[in-house]
Structure 1
Amino acid sequence: MVGKLLVRGMLAGVAAGLLTFSFAKLVGEPQVDQAISFEAKADAAKGEPPEPEIVSRHTQAGLGLLTGVVSFSAAVGGLFALTFAYTFGRVSKLPARPLSAWLALAAFITLVIVPNIKYPANPPSVGDPETIGMRTGLFFLMIAISIATMVFSLKVRKHAIAHLGQWNASIVAGLVFVVIIGAVQLALPVINEVPAAFPAVLLWKFRVAAIGMQVILWTTIGLLFGALAERAQRAASTDRMIGKSAYL
């Protein structure tokens, strides 16, 4: 059954990747082009020669973007399916569709919202190349802390249900998550390398597009995989019933 869920998760990821690519192509790429133009003009004003183009911009915005987004989405869909397979019936008694939706929402908050509050996405020409290693490390550290805090908060909820009930236990777990994440984000270093002359509207549109891509990705995976998983479970139940009737 896990293998069937894995395949369905990857299929949901591919579908999510195609939708995400379409959004990125229509909404995100124009912002990237404007940011690249800003960088080129800034370099020209300093008298610096343009950087050599190893991969053409046409390829980056077309086949390269499609390949990267779909491959990433398929991998995410597979990991999501494995998480669902572990959670279903063990951690949660929810049916397939609502469980898939809730898992996608939790993943979106943990992997996207929390790290992007502290270290939001930046377009080309924003950021010092010499600090890219540090910035990448801090971003993934924020993701790791967010995942660990989410798991800890769910354990707090599980233990609090017996004393407080499901609703109050959920509120307590949410508060624990917010307090820990807030403290961590205050403790981690601030990175602000946006040039003073960089257009604020362009930066805002780029970041909205980046979040929009993630919204489409996780919404599609959560809803589509839930439907596919439900169908797989119905088919498995039918096969078991047929198998039992064969011995009667």
Structure 2
Amino acid sequence: MTYGAVIRRYLLAGLSAGILCALYLRILGEPVIRAGLDFEDSLPPEGPADPELFTRSQQVVGGMVAIVFVSLVLSFLFGTLYVYLRHRIISGLGDVRASTALASVAFLLTAVVPWIRYPFLPPGMGNGETVWKRGFWELLLIATSIVAFVAIQLLVARLKGRISDDVRWILAIVTPVVVIGLIMFVFPSVSDPYPEGIPAQLIWSFRIRSLGSYALFWAIVGIFGGWLGSRAATSSPNNPPSVPQKDPVTQR
């Protein structure tokens, strides 16, 4: 398969994942969000209320469309990374297992790591300043974790033939855990005081269901995208995926 063929299959997987995640959040996430908004409305106002530009129904529809769009972008980036790493780090596995393994790592780095360091907050918690600060550090943590993980895996791959495969596997698993754990420790904390009286169940329901949406997305992209790639590879086994190369420079 060509690079474009791989990307098309992962875009299809991303579209499917985006639609299912949007439905998941509409059915399971919206009740928790509404409960958070109702709790926020029950608090004494701190000042004049801002006019509502969009109704809640319009916000829900816009959010579902945004989820599908973001899913397409993430699946494109994932497909590109998969093509790059397929024969460098995760070679020797079938397309389904390799894609699922990489998607599992993506879930850990883009969802679990920030979920631990900067837990998700339901509506009604946090102010504008902390929301932007939290978002900035969360995105920076995700980017730093991904760069650290890929760099470690490439370094470990270079040790092939110099140390045993068992030691390489241990290094490939333990080293990222230690390094990313240190990165999480170095990053600053962004704390928001919990509003008095907010139910703990509401907070944890929002966090767990939000994490579940990430798990659903990466599971679909990893498994379904790998399955599509394996079926295509079966029809053209001698044409592995490749990133487009630049035309060679003519020697004079």
TM tier, smaller:
0.7 to 0.9
Which residue number corresponds to residue 242 of structure 1?
none
SS of 1:141's equivalent in the other structure is helix
> Which deviates more from structure 2 when the two are superposed, residues 156-165 or residues 93-102?
156-165
Which residue number corresponds to residue 34 of structure 1?
35
For residues 79 and 182 of structure 2, the distance between their equivalents in structure 1, rounded to whole angstroms, comes to 32
Which residue number corresponds to residue 206 of structure 1?
206
For residues 14 and 116 of structure 1, the distance between their equivalents in structure 2, rounded to whole angstroms, comes to 24
Which residue number corresponds to residue 7 of structure 2?
6
Conservation of the 8 A alpha-carbon contact between 2:156 and 2:171: yes
Identity of aligned residues (%): 29
SS of 2:103's equivalent in the other structure is helix
Conservation of the 8 A alpha-carbon contact between 1:105 and 1:218: yes
Which residue number corresponds to residue 176 of structure 1?
175
Conservation of the 8 A alpha-carbon contact between 1:157 and 1:172: yes
For residues 53 and 164 of structure 2, the distance between their equivalents in structure 1, rounded to whole angstroms, comes to 59
For residues 162 and 217 of structure 1, the distance between their equivalents in structure 2, rounded to whole angstroms, comes to 36
> What are the superposed Cα offsets for residues 59-95 of structure 1, whole Å, 9 maximum, x if unpaired?
212x212211111111211222222222233443222
For residues 30 and 141 of structure 1, the distance between their equivalents in structure 2, rounded to whole angstroms, comes to 30
Deviation at 1:161, TM superposition (A): 4.6
The residue identity in structure 1 corresponding to 2:21 is: T
TM-score by length of 2: 0.86
Count of aligned positions: 237
Which residue number corresponds to residue 15 of structure 1?
16
Segments of 5+ residues of structure 1 without an aligned counterpart are: 240-248
* Greater relative contact order, per chain length (Cα 8 Å cut-off, separation 6+): 2
Conservation of the 8 A alpha-carbon contact between 1:156 and 1:173: no
Alpha-carbon spacing, 1:183–1:3, altered in 2? closer, same or farther (3 Å): same
Structure 1: 4+ residue segments shifted above 4 A: none
Conservation of the 8 A alpha-carbon contact between 1:118 and 1:185: yes
More helix by share: 1
Deviation at 1:187, TM superposition (A): 1.9
SS of 1:75's equivalent in the other structure is helix
Deviation at 1:196, TM superposition (A): 4.0
Deviation at 1:159, TM superposition (A): 4.1
For residues 188 and 25 of structure 2, the distance between their equivalents in structure 1, rounded to whole angstroms, comes to 30
For residues 235 and 67 of structure 1, the distance between their equivalents in structure 2, rounded to whole angstroms, comes to 34
Alpha-carbon spacing, 1:47–1:69, altered in 2? closer, same or farther (3 Å): closer
For residues 29 and 202 of structure 2, the distance between their equivalents in structure 1, rounded to whole angstroms, comes to 11
For residues 97 and 47 of structure 1, the distance between their equivalents in structure 2, rounded to whole angstroms, comes to 53
TM-score by length of 1: 0.87
Which residue number corresponds to residue 244 of structure 2?
none
The residue identity in structure 1 corresponding to 2:229 is: A
For residues 175 and 237 of structure 1, the distance between their equivalents in structure 2, rounded to whole angstroms, comes to 34
For residues 50 and 199 of structure 2, the distance between their equivalents in structure 1, rounded to whole angstroms, comes to 22
Alpha-carbon spacing, 1:222–1:168, altered in 2? closer, same or farther (3 Å): same
5 Å-filtered alignment, 1:82-231, equals: 82-93=80-91, 94-197=93-196, 198-231=198-231
RMSD: 2.1
Conservation of the 8 A alpha-carbon contact between 2:88 and 2:157: no
Which residue number corresponds to residue 245 of structure 2?
none
> Which deviates more from structure 2 when the two are superposed, residues 45-54 or residues 90-99?
45-54
> What are the superposed Cα offsets for residues 84-127 of structure 1, whole Å, 9 maximum, x if unpaired?
22223344322211111111011111111112210122111111
For residues 173 and 233 of structure 1, the distance between their equivalents in structure 2, rounded to whole angstroms, comes to 27
Conservation of the 8 A alpha-carbon contact between 1:153 and 1:174: no
Which residue number corresponds to residue 51 of structure 1?
50
For residues 83 and 45 of structure 2, the distance between their equivalents in structure 1, rounded to whole angstroms, comes to 55
Segments of 5+ residues of structure 2 without an aligned counterpart are: 240-252
For residues 28 and 46 of structure 2, the distance between their equivalents in structure 1, rounded to whole angstroms, comes to 32
Deviation at 1:192, TM superposition (A): 1.7
For residues 219 and 109 of structure 2, the distance between their equivalents in structure 1, rounded to whole angstroms, comes to 14
The residue identity in structure 1 corresponding to 2:211 is: I
For residues 47 and 91 of structure 1, the distance between their equivalents in structure 2, rounded to whole angstroms, comes to 54
